[in-house]
Amino acid sequence: MFLTFYNNKMKYNFDEIIDRKNTDAVKVERCKALFGTENVLPLWVADMDFKTPDFILESIKKRLEHPVLGYSMPPRNMLPLFIQWVNAHHQWELKREWVGFVPGIVPALSFAVQSLTSVGDEIIVQPPVYYPFFNVVKNNYRTLINNTLIDDGEKFVMDFDDLESKITPHTKLFILCNPHNPGGRVWTKVELEKLAEICEKHQVTVISDEIHADMVLPGNTKHTPFASISEWTADNTVTFMAPSKVFNMPGLISSSYIVKNELLRNKFVEFLEASEMNAGNIFAYQATVACYENGESWRLQMLDYVKNNVDFITEYLKNNIPQIKPMIPEASFLLWLDCKGLGMETDELFNFFVHKAGLGLNKGTIFGPGGENHLRMNVACSRKILEQAMAQLKNAIDELK
């Protein structure tokens, strides 16, 4: 039972710098292709540079003590532990039949699009947003509708008037990012209730990507699962969650779906089974159990460290580079940087960070409308790396003057 681990006093070292070279790490190996040079601090792709927790590594080592790596079923306690975790952390009581395994949230988004809509159907997303949302719509020959978020100067807010004006009889799905990436918003219950009201009025099913649900930073409002808002959302939402972001094991590809409505669930599950994509790998199963049994102390310490990193970057920019304004995240380890004050267009800005400051960040325009003049920065790394990054950036900007 993971609840017994809440008093774990082990102290984890997030200051340690882990060399990821020669490990086939995407964050390192793709720098040349993405930035045109390997000589950057890679602060882009959304995995952490912290050491993957020991309890995950030990669970894999333990399984390797057995000499046969054959076809394997999920451990009997894996999904019950997940259900228990969701109940304890998000006050959402799930039933076992609502829940199942999916091999990653991005594939699951595509499966949901394919199983719940038809070619040409309209699907709404809220840019700037995690760019695979666009791909799973367009690559499956559905019609993408953008309900662009409003930047109110501090955070993103939903444009409900624009949303309702864009819904037509052909609108079948709304893909929600909850909490939001790249803005780090933890949508409030009031905001989600308004969204639910509009979707119910127009009978639009909701797919809710909640991969950052367990990454709400200290001092912020708790995460609210969209499906927990009302009886209607419970019956008309497909939710995806995963331990992969919060416990830094995205390479193991282990996620879960939650679908209460039996008809909706059957459509989704039948597609999974027909695609032969309803099973995971042996190490993902073991690691998932380890997370939900042993992970709470590590999670809380990690979130404290990330929050301090966010505060460091925010304060540094305010005092030294006020032309760049960060959107303070309420969840996750991603910072959305408004760089309009530097007076550069997006491509020029991207190249300046790469070739003058030696920093590899995500270009804002990959997140869709609203991403112009912005960059996304990953702060889930040693403080020393961020201190180096800020020093390099300040030197590059000082040279501009």
pLDDT in tens, 275-329: 888 888 999 999 999 999 999 999 999 999 999 999 999 999 999 999 999 999 9
Distance CA(399)–CA(215), nearest Å, equals 37
Domain 68-293 in the same topology as domain 2-54+296-400: no
C-alpha distances out from residue 218 to 37, 249, 329, 361, Å: 36, 22, 11, 25
What's the pLDDT score for residue 208? 98
Q: Is the pLDDT of residue 1 over 60?
A: no
DSSP conformation class of 322: T
The CATH number assigned to the domain with range 68-293 reads 3.40.640.10
C-alpha distances out from residue 299 to 12, 50, 216, Å: 10, 12, 10
What's the pLDDT score for residue 9? 67
What's the pLDDT score for residue 279? 85
pLDDT in tens, 185-204: 999 999 999 999 999 999 99
The CATH number assigned to the domain with range 2-54+296-400 reads 3.90.1150.10
Query: What is the C-alpha R_g of the chain?
Result: 21
Kindly give the residue spans of alpha helices, DSSP state H, lying in 38-148: 54-63, 78-90, 105-116, 132-138
The average confidence (pLDDT) of the chain is 96
- Classified as helix, coil or strand, 3 is helix
C-alpha distances out from residue 73 to 64, 147, 236, 380, 387, Å: 16, 41, 29, 33, 45
Amino acid identity, position 5: F
DSSP 194-247: HHHHHHHHTT-EEEEE-TTTT-BPTTSPPP--GGGS-HHHHHSEEEEE-STTTT
What's the pLDDT score for residue 187? 98
Q: Is the pLDDT of residue 68 over 60?
A: yes
- Straight-line distance from the first to the last Cα atom of the chain, in angstroms, rounded to the nearest whole number: 58
Q: Can you give 23-42 as a three-state secondary structure string?
A: CCCHHHHCHHHHHCCCCCEE
> Element (H or E) spanning 327, and its range?
strand 325-327
The first and second tokens of residue 270, run together, are 């039948």
pLDDT in tens, 209-253: 999 999 999 999 999 999 999 999 999 999 999 999 999 999 999
What's the pLDDT score for residue 8? 59
* Annotated domain spans of the chain: 2-54+296-400, 68-293
Distance CA(147)–CA(180), nearest Å, equals 14
Instruction: Determine the average pLDDT of the residues in 76-96.
Output: 97
